[in-house]
Structure 1
Amino acid sequence: MMTTGTNRIMDEFAKLMTDAAGAAQGVRKEAEAAFHAQADRWLNSLDVVRREEFDVVREMALKALEENEALKARIDALERQAGTAPVAGVQPEA
């Protein structure tokens, strides 16, 4: 009879520990969510951009730079064809 009582106590203790572990995990998840929310609010108050937004704007800037360089090369080529390209070191006549 003693074994049955001991087993029942151990089963109850194991159930209590399982419930406590589940509760602790729930509290941890809630704490993490609260921390992330607070961190987001803090970062937003600093007016910082997210990495994804930065990468998008950076790609746009690089594309615009490439387009500008291509247009400059095209203008230079057209000026050479027209004979209006400025010669290095020569001042235009007044």
Structure 2
Amino acid sequence: MSQNNRIFDDLGRLMNEAAGVADGVRREVETAVKSQTQRFVADMDLVKREDFDALRELVQVQGEEIDALRQELAALKAEPKAKTKST
């Protein structure tokens, strides 16, 4: 009976060690994959989301300014024609 308990104790200890090793391997693989992913993304030279949002907002504001300037230019172009017709 004592021999069976020792076998089960050894088996339990072996399983615990295997679980610890597996956990270590899992963490090592996660670290390797994470570093490779970061290197891949860095090599792609992607823009950060904050920079993209700031640029999009700037372009939108400039588009509105361009529309206002086009309307102002159209009004200025139409003004001499109105003066020419009235004289």
TM-score, normalized by length of structure 2? 0.64
Moved over 4 A (4+): 76-80
Q: Of Structure 1 and Structure 2, which has the larger fraction of its residues in helix? A: 2
1:61 to 1:32, Cα distance in 2 relative to 1, 3 A: same
For residues 28-70 of structure 1, the C-alpha deviation after alignment (integer angstroms, 9 at most, x for no partner) is 21122123213322442x33316xx0x2232122211221233
* Structure 1 Cα separation of the partners of residues 16 and 39 of structure 2: 35
Paired residue total: 79
Structure 2 gap segments, 5+ residues each: 82-87
| Counterpart pick for 1:69 among 57, 63, 67 | 63
Q: Which residue of 2 aligns with 1:18?
A: 16
* Structure 1 Cα separation of the partners of residues 35 and 24 of structure 2: 17
TM-score, normalized by length of structure 1? 0.61
Letter in 2 for 1:24: A
CA RMSD of the aligned region, Å? 2.7
Q: In percent, how many aligned pairs have the same letter?
A: 23
Letter in 1 for 2:13: K
Structure 1 gap segments, 5+ residues each: none
1:8 to 1:31, Cα distance in 2 relative to 1, 3 A: same
